[in-house]
Structures are given as structure tokens and as C-alpha cells.
């Protein structure tokens, strides 16, 4: 049982011919992270020796089907269990599963999502999903403001919670200030390595015997 995730952004509807790599180029939420004030956000991490370092720019976690951008961090393919890379990938996959459980929770709460939306209009379908997501966030906010043991279950609502009740369609033009794909991929690789090293250091620090 874990606390459910809030939905922070919803992409516009896309046709089935568009894959994740296409969609991420025109998604407003990803664009805001890549080019908005999020890119100036600074955060600290530990290198493999435990020294505090600083990095800049918010990132999202995803699977391996996306572009190699520093803002899109995915597990390392073929990483062996027990290695630094494997430990990082296993933890990333675990977090992704928690996020994906939100979709199961939405379907269990709102029957219109579980059994299929029977409207033909794309605009109506988009509005239905948006409203369901807004209600989901409102329920989380209400539960957080009350002193109770209510928590959202993974993939299904708890038995006692029944009382809670047009985007761009073309790729953006190439900007002369955009970093080249090869440079982005290099920065993407560096960020994954530093995050893996940070996680390894935290694991060692947590397992270190404490002196009295």
C-alpha cells in the first residue's frame, strides 16, 4: 500500500501512428521542462566518493522508447544485477511501476475509463480523461488535508473511500539554439551515470555500520 501519485500534466490526444519519440517532441509538458524555468532548477547529488556535486535541469523517468535527452532518464539496457548500473535500473523500474499504477487506479475509480469511452468525438474523450484526472488530484488533496489513515491502494480504490467523490500537431521548427542530437545523447549518458553513482553511494551509506 502506498500513497498515490498526483497527475501533473496530460498530453493532448495523439493518433496511433505516432510513437513516443514523436509525441515527446511536441508535448507541452516536456517542452516546459526542457525550455522553461525547470531547466534552471539546481539539485545536489553525491559522486561515487561521496562528494556533493550540483546539477541543473529537471528530468523525467521513462522507459527505453524515448529520445536520448538529459530530461528523459530511462533504465540501462542489459545492466547486470548486482552492478552499479543494474541497481540503478532496478530502482528506476520500481519507481516507474508506482507511477503506472495510477492508470489502474483511475480505471478502477471511474468506470467510463475501465470499460472504454463510448464517445466518438476526440474532444469529448480528451475532456473525459482530463476531468477524471482532476477529480483524482482533488481526492488526493482532500485526503492529505485530513488526519486519517486513508491511503490509495495500488491499482484499486480502498473499500472505505467511496465517499470521495487543442495542442500542436506539427513538430516545432528547428531552433538554431537547439543542442545537437549527438551532444544531447552525450549529456543524457553522463546524467544517467551520475545518478547511478549517487544511488550507489546512498546505498553504501545506508548499509554502513553506525558507531555509538
Lowest mean pLDDT among 57-66, 134-143, 164-173: 164-173
CA–CA dist 162, 111 (Å, integer): 13
pLDDT tier, 18 (very low <50, low <70, confident <90, very high otherwise): confident
Q: Which of 189, 188, 178, 212 is nearest to 25 (CA)?
A: 178
Which contiguous run of DSSP H or E holds residue 200? helix 181-207
CA–CA dist 201, 212 (Å, integer): 22
How many CB atoms sit inside 10 A of residue 88's CB? 23
Name the DSSP class of 7. P
pLDDT tier, 4 (very low <50, low <70, confident <90, very high otherwise): low
pLDDT given at position 206 = 85
pLDDT given at position 163 = 34
pLDDT tier, 20 (very low <50, low <70, confident <90, very high otherwise): confident
Question: With 50 as the cut, is the pLDDT of residue 155 above it?
Answer: no
**Residue 33 has which C-alpha cell?**
521542462
How many CB atoms sit inside 10 A of residue 150's CB? 15
Is pLDDT larger for residue 188 or for residue 14?
188
Q: Which of 199, 145, 154, 113 is nearest to 5 (CA)?
A: 154
pLDDT given at position 86 = 92
pLDDT tier, 162 (very low <50, low <70, confident <90, very high otherwise): very low
Question: With 70 as the cut, is the pLDDT of residue 151 above it?
Answer: no
pLDDT tier, 43 (very low <50, low <70, confident <90, very high otherwise): very high
Per residue in 169-179, pLDDT (tens digit) is 454 554 545 55
Alpha helices per DSSP H over 27-121:
28-35, 84-109, 111-114
Inter-residue contact 164 to 141 (CB < 8 Å):
no
Per residue in 48-67, pLDDT (tens digit) is 888 999 999 999 999 988 99
- For the chain, what is the mean pLDDT? 80
Amino acid at each position: 500500500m502506498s500513497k498515490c501519485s498526483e497527475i501533473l500534466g496530460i498530453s493532448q490526444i495523439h493518433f496511433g501512428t505516432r510513437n513516443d519519440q514523436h509525441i515527446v517532441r511536441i508535448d507541452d509538458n516536456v517542452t516546459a521542462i526542457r525550455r522553461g524555468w525547470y531547466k534552471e532548477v539546481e539539485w545536489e547529488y553525491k559522486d561515487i566518493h561521496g562528494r556533493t556535486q550540483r546539477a541543473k535541469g529537471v528530468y523525467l523517468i521513462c522507459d527505453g522508447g524515448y529520445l536520448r535527452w538529459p530530461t528523459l532518464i530511462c533504465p540501462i539496457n542489459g545492466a547486470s544485477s548486482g552492478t552499479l548500473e543494474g541497481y540503478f535500473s532496478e530502482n528506476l523500474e520500481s519507481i516507474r511501476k508506482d507511477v503506472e499504477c495510477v492508470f489502474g487506479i483511475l480505471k478502477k475509480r471511474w468506470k467510463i475509463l475501465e470499460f472504454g469511452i463510448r464517445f466518438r468525438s476526440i474532444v469529448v474523450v480528451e475532456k473525459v480523461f482530463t476531468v477524471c484526472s482532476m477529480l483524482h488530484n482533488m481526492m488526493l488533496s482532500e485526503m492529505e488535508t485530513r488526519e486519517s489513515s486513508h491511503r490509495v491502494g495500488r491499482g484499486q480504490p480502498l473499500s472505505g473511500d467511496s465517499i470521495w467523490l487543442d495542442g500542436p500537431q506539427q513538430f516545432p521548427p528547428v531552433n538554431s539554439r537547439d543542442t545537437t542530437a549527438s551532444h544531447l545523447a552525450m549529456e543524457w549518458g553522463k546524467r544517467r551515470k551520475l545518478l547511478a553513482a549517487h544511488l550507489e553511494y546512498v546505498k553504501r551509506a545506508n548499509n554502513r555500520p553506525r558507531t555509538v
